Amino acid sequence: MTVYAVFFYIIAALIIASAGLAITRKHMVHAVLYLVVSFIATALLFYLLGAPLVGIFQVILYAGAIMVLFLFIVMMIRMAPGPDRPFPAGHFLAAFGVCGIYVAAALLVAFSSGPETGRPMAAAAASPAAFGFYLFDRHWLAVEMISLLLLVALIGALHLGRAGRRKKSGNKEP
């Protein structure tokens, strides 16, 4: 086993553990922080697999912008942690069922492949300039739609923040 394989498995275990902790926490701020750890570990995995630009996008967009937005929303709503009671057994059965389907599919793909899978894939390399040119040349509409969606989310968060402040103070702000 190579050093890269060891790092891959360590980072993959960190992603799985932090994502699991993120969905099982009752306190929302802790869940968001575990999700940030998961996103940063995913960026490390992208870097390890030879895609540093995608890793940087992962840190900037997800671990940076989206998670800051989530933290602001969680702090504005001020949700109290729920009662410390376990999830119903039906939820665990459904989760284990879905997990079993994914594991079965992964094993099926891993063991039913032909002999051509023994060869490593050819490395695909693209500079950030080439990626940017491709993205804005062929997918400019999707980029504009995503930027518009983020703008609407930001305006919605600002509106929710102002509405909560108006209710507490009692005065009418424009």
Higher pLDDT, 116 or 161: 161
Mean pLDDT, to the nearest integer, of 7-21? 91
Kindly report the CATH class assigned to 1-79: mainly alpha
How far CA 14 is from CA of 2, 17, 22, 45, in Å, comes to 19, 5, 12, 10
pLDDT category at 170 given cuts 50, 70, 90 is low
Mean pLDDT, to the nearest integer, of 50-59? 86
Does the pLDDT of residue 84 top 80, yes or no? no
Asked if 19 and 31 touch (Cβ cutoff 8 Å), the reply is no
User: Can you give the pTM of this predicted structure?
Assistant: 0.57
Mean pLDDT, to the nearest integer, of 59-84? 75
Give the tens place of pLDDT for each residue, 88-118: 777 778 888 888 898 898 888 777 766 666 6
pLDDT given for residue 145 in this prediction: 92
pLDDT given for residue 69 in this prediction: 76
Per the structure block, which two tokens stand in for 45?
Answer: 């995995």
